[in-house]
Structure 1
Amino acid sequence: MSKTDDFFNATGGKLLTFLLGEQEYGIRIDHAREVVGQMAIDKVPQTPNYLMGVTNLRGKIVPVLNLRLKLGMEAVPPTGETCIIVVSLGGAETGILVDFLVGVVTIGQAEFTEGLDLGEQIDTQFIYGMGKIDKRVIAILEVGSLVESLDL
C-alpha cells in the first residue's frame, strides 16, 4: 500500500494543521490525541536541546519536543498562542510544541503529493508529503519518524 493510500484510508484526508513561524505544517489526524495549552515542563539532564523535558499530563509523564529546534529552526519565546499537540503512536504519547494551532483541514487525493525530493543536501526524513488547499501549501510531517528520532 502506498503512502497516499495509507493516508487516505486511515484519515479520509484529514490533517491537524499548525504554524511554525509563517510555514504551515500538518500531521495526520489519527496521530493527534489532544491539544493542550502551555504547561509546566521539567527539564531532563543530558538530553538534546530540542527535547524540552517532560510534563505531567493527568498523571502521565509525557516528553515534550520543541519542533522548531528539531527541524533546525530558531527558538522563539512562547506566546499566548503557543500550544502542545499530544500525539499517540503505538501507545506512547509525546508532546509537540508549536507556535499556533490552525485547525483541522481535509485534502483530496489530487491535492496530496507523497514525499518531497529537495536533493541530497536537504534532510526530508520528517516530511510525509505535501498538501495544497487553495493557495496554501502544507508540509505534512511524518510523526512516527519524529518520535522515533527522539530515542526515548
Structure 2
Amino acid sequence: MQNESQLKSYITFGLGDEKFALAVDHVQEIVELDKVTKIPNAPHYMLGIINLRGKVLPLLDTRLKLGLSEALATKKSRIMVIDIMVTDEKVIQIGALVDVAKEVIELSPSDIQEAPEFENYNTKTPITGVVNNKGDITMIMDVNKVFSSADILQLNQIMN
C-alpha cells in the first residue's frame, strides 16, 4: 500500500494531441476564455491581458511557450490562472491558455518516470517527468521553467 502522504495532485490538460500535467498547488483556478485585450509590442506568446474579477492578468499562449504550433481557441479552451515564483518573496499570477482542462489526478513519486535524456534536453525542457497510464503518456510540467521569472518580469514591465 502506498503512503498517501506522498501523493501529489496534478491538473491534466491538453495541447493538441498531447497531454500535460501541472502540480495543482500552482493553479489557483480554471476559467473560460473571455475578452482578451491586445498589448502593443508584447512577446509573440503573450495574447494580451484579461480582466479576472477586477484583476488584470497577462494571458500567455502555453502552446507557443512550449514551441508547439499555434491553434485557434475553441469552446473547450480554458485559462489556467497560475502562480509563478519570481523571487522567494514575489509571486505573480498569469493566465495560461490551454486547449482543454481535463481532470485532477493523484500521483506518487513512483508513478512518475524521469523525462527522456537527450543532448541539452534536460537542462532546457520544462518537462520534469512522464506518466505512462496504459500507453497514454502524460508529461509532467515545471511551471517555473515554462514561464520563467525573466519572462514574467518582462511581462510585468509591459503591463506597468
Normalising by structure 2, report the TM-score.
Answer: 0.80
Counterpart of 2:88 in structure 1 is: none
> 1 CA distance for matches of 2:20 and 2:128?
11
- Is 1:134 aligned to 2:152, yes or no? no
Counterpart of 2:62 in structure 1 is: 67
AA of the residue aligned to 1:137: I
The alignment partner of 1:43 has SS state of coil
Counterpart of 2:38 in structure 1 is: 43
Root-mean-square deviation (Å): 2.0
The alignment partner of 1:73 has SS state of coil
> 2 CA distance for matches of 1:123 and 1:68?
20
- Is 1:22 aligned to 2:17, yes or no? yes
Normalising by structure 1, report the TM-score.
Answer: 0.84
Give the unaligned 5+ runs of structure 1: 1-7
The alignment partner of 2:147 has SS state of helix
> 2 CA distance for matches of 1:93 and 1:128?
22
> 2 CA distance for matches of 1:122 and 1:137?
18
Contact 1:54-1:62 at 8 Å conserved across structures:
yes
Give 1:89 deviation, angstroms: 2.9
The alignment partner of 2:70 has SS state of coil
Query: Highest Rg: 1 or 2?
Result: 2
CA 49–123 in structure 1, closer or farther in 2 if over 3 Å, else same: farther
CA 134–107 in structure 1, closer or farther in 2 if over 3 Å, else same: farther
The alignment partner of 1:68 has SS state of helix
- Is 1:87 aligned to 2:82, yes or no? yes
Query: Which shows bigger deviation, 20-29 or 42-51?
Result: 42-51
Counterpart of 1:104 in structure 2 is: 104
> 1 CA distance for matches of 2:55 and 2:98?
21
Give 1:75 deviation, angstroms: 1.0
Give aligned pairs, total.
143
Give 1:128 deviation, angstroms: 2.3
- Is 1:117 aligned to 2:117, yes or no? yes
The alignment partner of 1:69 has SS state of helix
Identity of aligned residues (%): 27
Give 1:70 deviation, angstroms: 1.2
Give the unaligned 5+ runs of structure 2: 86-90, 156-160
Contact 2:66-2:146 at 8 Å conserved across structures:
no
> 1 CA distance for matches of 2:144 and 2:22?
10
